[in-house]
Amino acid sequence: SKIHCERITSKLPLHGAHVGTFLCAEQEMQYVRHHIYSAIAPNSKKNGDVTSSPPIKVWDCLQSAMKLREPVLVFPVLDMESYQPLPGMFNSATRDSSLPSLGMIACLKAAGGKAPSMWDCENKLYYASPGDVQNGQTLRDVLVMKPNSTVEDVFDVLKRMGALGGEYVRAEAAENIGMKPNLVKKDELVTRSNRILK
């Protein structure tokens, strides 16, 4: 509750970064559970009556945490002209266990969001093949990196995912679509100015 949040916040060190946000996890979990059951078994008795407006306290808590130290978003691509995604990322875009399930997609939609871009609503599955890339100019894949990550850290993550192999040779980077890419050193920090990486 708000009282507990104030009590905890008052005991945090003044020199540390912190934000206190109270939330009601029970209400939020019931909302998610309701929409998951509705998508998996529409006639299930487990659906129950749940408010139609999404609870936002967990979202507020996550937003507060993200503002303290924002992650760096990196967009790995195969080509800096067409922005075609790396072929090794197709499994991550369609089969990874971290992708939202049918139930979570129903919950996202009920909260006013949209299904992931690789989700086929008719067949209720993720799709991707090299022919599915729509005219380029779209950044399909994104990596969420810790602040102060380097270009080599991004390479290591892509290598662990199986999207790349071998040793680091060179990388090119740009800030936005259409900008001329520049060579980047492997120990260069990844920021907004070099977030599209080849």
- Segment 39-81, tens digit of pLDDT: 766 665 554 555 555 556 666 777 777 777 788 889 998 888 8
Whether the per-residue pLDDT at 126 is higher than 70: the answer is yes
Yes or no: say if 146 and 79 are a contact pair by the CB < 8 Å rule: no
The Cβ of residue 31 has, within 10 Å, a number of other Cβ atoms equal to: 20
| Euclidean distance between CA atoms 117 and 150, whole angstroms | 28
Report, as an integer, the average pLDDT of 150-177: 89
| Euclidean distance between CA atoms 194 and 142, whole angstroms | 13
What is residue 181's predicted lDDT score, i.e. its pLDDT? Answer: 92
Yes or no: say if 88 and 128 are a contact pair by the CB < 8 Å rule: no
Instruction: For 47, list phi and psi in degrees, rounded to 5.
Output: -60, -45
Listed residue (161, 184, 180, 181) closest to 171, CA to CA: 184
Structural tokens at position 87: 């072929």
| Euclidean distance between CA atoms 96 and 100, whole angstroms | 9
Q: Which of 58-67, 171-180, 189-198 has the lowest mean pLDDT?
A: 58-67
